[in-house]
Amino acid sequence: MAFDPEKAQRIWMTVQQVPCGKVSSYGFIADLAGLPGRARMVGKVMQYAPEAMALPWHRILKSNGQIAFQAGSESARLQTELLRLEGVEVINNRVRLSRYGWQPALGELLLMEF
DNA sequence: ACAGTGACAAGTC
DNA sequence: AGACTTGCCACTG
């Protein structure tokens, strides 16, 4: 693996925190993982995520709520389906962050501190 | 070393 | 609501 395994670990762990029925963004995950401004790295690292980890990758969207994959692609179609199964409305390839965006409580943030 | 690309983001117009 | 620009950083040729 070419990437830094420690950073990847933090990113994956952070993604795991996103609860079912809620969504988050690449930039936000990067921030929580202690990598502000590195949204692109989040997407890169997600590609290498082990299948066994069962990462909720479908809960991660662009900062504007849109699905990151090319509209109409197989991945995008699967992502919208997974989201709808969790009760998240996906209209025209995007989600209303004002409604489904994940707002982690202070306690949750402190909990992942180690 | 260097330029192009990408599961991104924020600012400007 | 677009389109364009800059800032990011890892990866690839």
- A41 CA from B7 C1′ (Å): 10
Q: Give the nucleotide with minimal C1' distance to the Cα of A64.
A: B9
Picking from A109, A95, A99, the residue whose alpha carbon sits closest to that of residue A18 is A109
What lies within 8 Å, CB to CB, of A36 at 6+ separation is A30
Q: What angle do CA A29, A102, A71 make, to 5 degrees?
A: 70
Residue with smallest Cα–C1' gap to B6: A40
Protein A72 CA to nucleic acid B2 C1', in Å? 34
**Which chain C positions come under 7 Å from a protein C-beta?**
7-12
Q: Which nt sits closest to A38, CA to C1'?
A: C8
Residue A95 makes CB contacts below 8 A (sequence gap 6+) with A23, A61, A65, A66, A67, A83, A88, A89
pTM: 0.93
Show the domains of chain A with their CATH numbers: 5-111 (1.10.10.10)
pLDDT in tens, chain A (114 residues): 557 888 999 999 999 999 999 999 999 999 999 999 999 999 999 999 999 999 999 999 999 999 999 988 999 999 999 999 999 999 999 999 999 999 998 888 887 766
A11-46 burial, b at 16+ Cβ within 10 Å, e below that, comes to: bbebbebbeeebbbbbbbbbbbbebeebbebbbebb
